[in-house]
A and B are shown apart, each in its own frame.
Chain A
């Protein structure tokens, strides 16, 4: 088996190449740091097994964030394996810096120059460059499978040479000059270095460079405490070498990577934010209300007509109406799973729009715009990526928090992600909100999305001031060029999302529905209830817990049971409700009408209780999958704190919203407004009086500098 590691700068197309080589569908995007952990896959070429590892993008062998550390450690540990170093043709100069680093390490390298953008920006003499570096260069387009043959042949050839005892020798003249200069300082570490490098001369040179570069990880491993500051010097050597290469082998170019005239509009100080909000609003509208909901209705009609009804008729005809099988199929399968399946078009569209944001290169600009706000609450513009992915699925979004540079910001970003309204929460909003608010539901849904974001930002602010103070982040983020999405890529993306959703519904949701069905149809003595009397296990449990929820305005046992089932996956809340209320068709409107019928197991006393329930659903718990990822990413302690916080925040917010809404409902609009105005006036008056008492003492220079700093 041939081991190959894919290494390169962020956003140069490593994962695209990985997908093309192995025929996989790993997530790619036009953003810095989509891949956050190593992924390996085996593929066959000319009867050879090649195991290729896709690593997170790095700029050099000195890591800054967690995911870079993963990559760097992996490369150094497996330095004798073949490295496929992928570079973006339009940013070759900067990309070569990493190549030089890999050459210093002495890896067997194949340099892949990836032509992502169609138009060629500069001409490069690859033959000359290849000879000078002593590295094979393959020029290709990573998304075009036809161009991969050269690379595969190159890998086989290099592997053959390595097995024949070939050791790569690179002529980097500056290494000798540099190490010679610091030789007398380094001699004291000779023993340690020799032990670590096991007399591998090349590796000992690499270690020396790393020591002079003040690399904490290497210094820790070698137990060296001295501080060095030759970092700029070595970087200058490397860049001088690259400049020299570029002068010799490439034509001059005036184009700047990542700049576009579009930025004049998208990064305009005053237009940037409104443009983004319009984009977001439009994609949500298309997804949830216009095209999405139209497709959903259509799908539910088709499912009902061609699958549910014939199936049910068939079963009733053969087994009779009261059999457990009929009940299982009717409630768990058709009512439960069917009700979620109808959301397929909407979920697929939502993920599609998120990918569009990511692929177009616009996301980096969004991060730039949000840096202003997010840096104030101790996050970074980069958190935008994680939070936006959270609208899709928090489980995968939490992983992207690895982009963050310091640990506290990573923990914080991870903790905040579940507050985003993920795609699994949307069915709840659509079904319950739709039943009670009708056409006004659009405002309820928008409100819920905003509520999640606002709470996340407030929480981040509080955490920043108390438990999780972040060190200052650098917000080093490269701007990728804008790219159009190809039709091929668009359809592939949509298909992938559809597949993922169906798999989720067919496995997790189905299993959960069967569990809920069992618990709600059997008594504690495992006696099937059917249409007869008896109290199911779930009903008992729901009734036991329901007093806790009285202050929130909902306490029917069905709702509480649905919340419990929803711990596994939020969609199950909707399917459980459908099941408890005995909804036979899988259309959204039939579930909606069932919740209004107050005789069912799931009912709401008023509109304010619906609102309170929706808010509770939004906030109360990240699903089990997210929790387990959180434990891996931020540790047990913080996950526990995070989950506990969520329960508390959910409870309090739902309570406040219920109370306010209830007051509106009972007293009418005008009276309530008066009540709240009075309260507001009283509070302002109190705050004002307190401020007057604690009158600011200004600093002595306040007249001159005009900044009103408080005297400490």
Chain B
């Protein structure tokens, strides 16, 4: 098990759980967007200072801030 923020770019992983995020609202939004356990997920790009991550999940692409990516546990 590792944090998605520590994962390699372009490689697929599977979500295990979402750790502590700053608010319940954001946790719910992540679930609403399909960040559910067992879901295949991939980091497409990281920004220069690794503050922003481009993530691929469920056939679409979105960006997340590092604090959230840090909370996503994958394997």
Nearest chain-A residue to B68 (Cβ)? A474
Chain B residues positioned under 8 Å from A213 (CB to CB): 28
Q: Is A128 an interface residue (CB 8 A)?
A: no
| Structural contact, B32 and A97, CB atoms closer than 8 A | yes
Assess the A372–B49 pair: CB atoms within 8 A.
Answer: yes
Q: Is B75 in the interface zone, CB < 8 Å from A? A: no
For window 34-75 of B, CB contacts with A under 8 Å fall at 34, 36-37, 44-49, 51-52, 54, 56, 58-65, 67-68
Docked-complex contact A214 and B52, CB < 8 angstroms = no
Complex alpha-carbon distance, A235 and B33, angstroms:
9
Tell me whether B63 and A371 are in contact (CB under 8 A): yes
- By the criterion CB–CB under 8 Å, are B26 and A368 in contact? no
> Chain B interface: which size bin?
35 or more
A375 to B48, CA, bound (A): 13
Q: Measured between C-beta atoms, what is the minimum distance from A64 to chain B in Å?
A: 5
Q: Which residues of B contact A259 (CB under 8 A)?
A: 44, 56, 61
Q: Which of A231, A255, A267, A375 contacts B27 (CB 8 A)?
A: A231
**Inside 8 A of B11's CB, which chain A residues have their CB?**
none
Point out the residues of chain A lying under 8 angstroms from B63, CB to CB. Answer: 364, 367-368, 371, 381, 475-479
Q: How far is the CA of A477 from the CA of B34 in the complex (A)?
A: 14
Whether B32 and A258, one on each chain, are in contact in the complex, defined by CB atoms closer than 8 angstroms, is no
Across the interface, do A371 and B26 meet the contact criterion of CB distance under 8 Å?
Answer: no
A94 touches B58 (CB 8 A): yes
**A residues near B24, Cβ cutoff 8 Å:** 214, 216
Q: Which residue of B lies closest to A471 (CB)?
A: B22
B47–A269 CB distance below 8 A:
yes
Once A59-B32, A472-B22 are accepted as A-B contacts, the answer to whether A253 and B59 lie under 8 Å apart by CB is: yes
A99 to B56, alpha carbons, bound, how many Å?
A: 22
Contact with B along A258-271 (1 / 0, CB 8 A): 11000100010110
- The answer, among A59, A272, A381, for a CB contact under 8 Å with B33, is A59
Question: Which B residues are in CB contact (< 8 Å) with A255?
Answer: 59
In the complex, which residues 10-30 of chain B have their Cβ closer than 8 Å to any Cβ of chain A? Answer: 18, 21-29
Distance (whole angstroms) from the CB of A456 to the closest CB of chain B: 19
Complex interface residues of chain A between 325 and 363 (CB less than 8 A to chain B): none
Knowing A258-B61, A272-B48 touch, does A97 contact B31 (C-beta < 8 A)?
A: no
Chain B residues whose C-beta falls within 8 Å of the C-beta of A474 in the assembled complex: 21-22, 26, 29, 64-65, 68
**Cα A97 to Cα B36 with chains together (Å):** 13
**Do A232 and B61 have beta carbons less than 8 Å apart?**
no
Query: What A residues does B67 contact at CB under 8 A?
Result: 472
- Asked whether B60 lies within 8 Å of A64 as measured between CB atoms, the reply is no
Does A91 reach chain B (CB closer than 8 Å)?
Answer: yes
Residues of chain A within 8 A of B52, CB atoms compared: 368, 371-372, 375, 381, 475
Q: Is the interface of B mostly helix, strand, loop or mixed?
A: mixed
Q: Does A600 contact B (CB under 8 A)?
A: no
| Cβ–Cβ < 8 Å partners of A472 in chain B | 22, 65, 67
- The answer to whether A239 touches B51 (Cβ under 8 A) is no
Contact of B48 among A94, A372, A380, A479 (CB under 8 A): A372
**Do the beta carbons of A235 and B36 come within 8 Å of each other?**
yes
Q: How far is the CB of B28 from chain A (nearest CB, A)?
A: 5
Tell me the minimal C-beta distance from B20 to chain A in angstroms. Answer: 12
| Known contacts A256-B60, A263-B45: A64-B25 contact under CB 8 Å | yes
The answer to whether B34 and A476 have CB atoms under 8 Å apart is no
Is B60 a contact partner of A91 (Cβ separation < 8 A)?
yes
The listed residue with most A CB atoms (<10 A of its CB), out of B33, B45, B49, is B45
Q: Is the CB of A476 within 8 A of B60?
A: no
Partner of B31, one of A232, A367, A476, A478: A232
**Are A239 and B34 CB-contacts (below 8 A) given A93-B58, A270-B48?**
yes
- The smallest beta-carbon distance between B56 and chain A, in angstroms, is 6
- Closest chain B residue to A243 by CB distance? B58
Write the nearest CB–CB distance from A87 to chain B, whole angstroms. Answer: 12
Q: Mark A236-259, 1 if CB is under 8 A from B, else 0.
A: 100100000000000001011111
Answer whether A368 and B48 are a contact pair too, CB < 8 Å, given A93-B59, A476-B63.
Answer: no
Task: Note all chain B residues with C-beta closer than 8 A to A369.
Answer: 47-48
A473 sits at the interface (CB 8 A): yes
Complex CA distance for A94 and B29, rounded to whole angstroms: 13
Which of B22, B26, B60, B68 is A478 in contact with, Cβ under 8 Å?
Answer: B60
- CA distance in complex: A478, B44 (Å): 13
Q: When chains A and B are docked, how far (Å) is the Cα of A267 from the Cα of B55?
A: 13
User: A97–B28 Cα gap in the complex (Å)?
Assistant: 13
Q: Is the CB of A94 within 8 A of B33?
A: yes
Query: Cβ of B58: which chain A residues have Cβ within 8 Å of it?
Result: 93-94
A478 touching B61, Cβ below 8 Å: yes
Name the contact of B60 in the complex, choosing from A235, A258, A368 (C-beta under 8 A).
A258
Residues of B with Cβ closer than 8 Å to A? Answer: 18, 21-29, 31-34, 36-37, 44-49, 51-52, 54, 56, 58-65, 67-68
A residues whose Cβ falls under 8 Å from a Cβ of B: 59-60, 62, 64, 91, 93-94, 97, 213-214, 216, 231-232, 235-236, 239, 253, 255-259, 263, 267, 269-270, 272-273, 364, 367-369, 371-372, 375-376, 380-381, 471-479
Known: A235-B32, A474-B26. 18 other contacts (CB 8 A): A64-B26, A213-B28, A232-B18, A255-B59, A263-B45, A269-B48, A273-B48, A367-B63, A371-B63, A371-B65, A375-B51, A375-B52, A381-B52, A381-B63, A472-B67, A476-B29, A479-B54, A479-B63
**10 tightest Cβ-Cβ pairs between the two chains A and B:** A258-B61, A371-B52, A235-B31, A475-B65, A257-B60, A372-B49, A60-B32, A479-B61, A372-B51, A478-B62
7 contacts between A and B (CB under 8 A): A94-B34, A263-B54, A368-B47, A381-B63, A474-B22, A474-B65, A478-B62
